[in-house]
Amino acid sequence: MSANGQHLPRIEAAGLDGWLVRLFDRIEEDNLAWISALARECEMAFGAALIDLVPSYTTLLVVFDPMQLTPLAARERLVERLRQLQPDEAALAGEVHELPTWYDTSVGPDLERVAEHAGLSVEQVIDCHASATYRVFALGFAPGFAFMGLLDEKLEVPRLDTPRKRVPVNSVAITGRQTAAYPAATPGGWNLLGRTAATLFDREREGFSLLNVGDRVCFVSVDRDTFASKGGDTTPVDDT
């Protein structure tokens, strides 16, 4: 199997109970179809010995029960599944979500710095971010936190040198070619552009998370009044 025309996947040790399958070296939207296919194959190949599957943009971490399966046997099962792997195109048919988002320096204090870095106006940064549709590649970091891409290269910026101790819930942020919205107030080093009024994580919702791997997301720019009318929190970010 040569995924997406790239090199053959590499299988790397991840402790005594895990293998990391590196399918790609570059982040591409089509990667998801291959990673999802491998996850499905692992569920069938490992059965009750499977503990966890953790997908990312380019890899799949496979965690197994070493009391039921030796590392060598687990690796052999991965090799066998990779030989015949075909992409799961259904993985790219997720739901489409429109997230009402208020872009403003009071809730997006990094807007001006991102604009300066990109050589754009603040309005151009907002238009660029809000005009794209993003794919959810993985969930992690915090419950309901969706890693999305691919961000336009013009807006590619590094993480903050010093992460914030507290990023407000629903903050919309970017780093590298990724974008996300924080489902809870947590520390974070991504660049804040605004805030969404969507409820990203709800314990009363089936599955808890609004966004799931394979879904597509549009950030819809709204004004302050519309944002507030949808339940959005207009409290400015406190960076003190």
Distance CA 19, CA 190 (A): 29
pLDDT per position in the chain (240 positions), as tens? Answer: 554 444 578 999 999 999 999 999 888 888 888 998 999 999 999 999 999 988 888 999 999 999 999 999 999 999 999 998 999 887 677 899 999 999 999 999 999 999 999 999 999 999 999 999 999 988 888 888 999 989 999 999 999 999 999 999 999 999 999 999 999 999 999 999 999 999 999 988 777 899 988 899 999 999 999 999 999 999 999 987
The DSSP bridge partners found for residue 18 are 63
Structure letter (DSSP) for residue 90: G
Using omega within 30 degrees of 0 as the cis cutoff, is the peptide bond preceding 150 cis? yes
Alpha carbons within 13 angstroms on the beta-carbon side of residue 93 total 4
- DSSP helix, strand, coil percent of the chain (3-state; round to 5): 25, 30, 45
State pTM to two decimals.
0.80
Domains and CATH numbers, the chain: 3-92 (3.30.1360.40), 96-229 (2.40.100.10)
**Crossing angle of helices 71-83/31-46, nearest 10°?**
130
| DSSP-assigned letters across all residues of 169-196 | TTEEEEEBTEEEE-SS-EEE-SEEEEEE
Give Cα separations from 58 to 96, 165, 228 (angstroms): 22, 29, 38
Count of CB atoms within 10 A of residue 83's CB? 9
Classify burial at 29, counting beta carbons within 10 Å of its beta carbon; exposed 0-12, middle 13-18, buried 19 or more: middle
